[in-house]
Amino acid sequence: MRPLREQCQPHDLHWIETCKLHQFPTMKSAVLPTAFKVQRIFPTKSAIYEDEFRDSSQNNFVILFLLFFFYYFSLPQVHTIAMTRPVVYSVALGVFVCTTIMTIVSILTPHWVTYSVTADTGSTFKKYIGLHQSCSSVDDPSCRPFPNDDDCRDDQFFCSMWRSSGFLISFATIVELATLITFIVVIAGGKYKRETGWKLIGFLLLADAAVEFASMGIVAYLFDTDSQFIIPGWSLDWSWIICTISGSVSVLIAASLAASAWLLPPEDDYEYLEDPIDA
């Protein structure tokens, strides 16, 4: 009697019944339609060649896929630069959290442009303008929305530009939130994500800086050209300054991540396994 493996070859007239009876592990006919099984009880030579061609095509596809898979994942080791260690990402994340807080503070505080003048009597009059409100030392209540309809009645261009600045800095906070999430995903994602994730983080950092620079640039342009700021006593205040610092730090973080990718050695992301004898 022939071995079971030979009994289950397609050239056997009763290979289906034999394999089904012994539940051979490589049995392929169990998943075929019933009508097809009946036809395969007496297989023709062309059907056998067709099955062999289909199996060889599938094997070739699997081999090509595996070759491409191993080649692709060998690229970071052969053709790309070594990536930063987790401590670099952690420090960059901590610094970026501070820049995000600075951006939020610049939005909430009305100290982008300040006017201060001291009268002959010794009293000082101060007015503070932020992206969304204006405050005065003599008004009651001291703060009001800015710019309002009265501010825009005679200067629509100023109002449009100022509101655009407020919109841009608010959009920057959304970009910063996305950057924070990306930081966390890259840090917790393992070695491969740390090797490639710095590019996405750097792009988001530069996008955040570009938006912040555009916002503070609009305010600086209006400060230099608008007629209401011609009177001596007006100056750019600390809210505008911390927005500028926030954008500049974002650029420095992106540059630091890129530099560390080139300069630092590859990280050894190995974990020691317990000795099964000691366990």
The tens digit of pLDDT for each residue in 127-156 reads 999 999 999 988 888 899 999 888 888 889
Structure tokens that stand for 17 in this block: 């019944």
Indicate the average pLDDT of the chain.
76
Q: What mean pLDDT comes out for the span 189-212?
A: 90
Provide the CATH topology of domain 86-263.
Butyryl-CoA Dehydrogenase, subunit A; domain 3 (1.20.140)
Residue 55 has pLDDT above 80, yes or no: no
- To the nearest 10°, report the CA torsion of 95, 96, 98, 99: 130
| Cβ atoms of residues 86 and 201 within 8 Å | no
* Dmax (CA) of the chain: 121
CA atoms within 13 A on the CB side of 210: 8
Q: What is the rounded average pLDDT of the residues 168-185? A: 95
Average pLDDT of the segment spanning 151-179? 93
Q: How confident is the model at residue 5 (pLDDT cuts 50, 70, 90)?
A: very low
Nearest alpha carbon to residue 129 among 248, 244, 233: 233
The predicted pLDDT at position 262 comes to 81
* pLDDT class of 277 with cuts at 50, 70, 90: low
Average pLDDT of span 9-30: 44
Look at 205 and 9; give whichever has higher pLDDT: 205
| pLDDT value at 278 more than 70 | no
**pLDDT reading at 201 higher than 90:** yes
Q: Which comes out higher in pLDDT, residue 66 or 192?
A: 192
- Distance, CA of 217 to CA of 219 (rounded, Å): 5
pLDDT score, position 18: 47
pLDDT of residue 69: 40
CB atoms within 10 A of CB 99: 24
pTM greater than 0.85: no
If one compares 215 and 29, the residue with the highest pLDDT of the two is 215
Q: Which helix (H) or strand (E) holds 135?
A: strand 133-136
Pairing between strand 143-145 and 133-136?
A: antiparallel
Residue 40 has pLDDT above 50, yes or no: no
Residue 67: what pLDDT?
A: 52
80-125 pLDDT per residue, tens: 444 457 889 999 999 999 999 999 999 999 999 999 998 878 888 9
Tell me how far CA of residue 231 lies from CA of 167, 178, 190, 224, 241, in angstroms: 27, 41, 58, 11, 21
Domain definitions of the chain by residue range? 4-78, 86-263
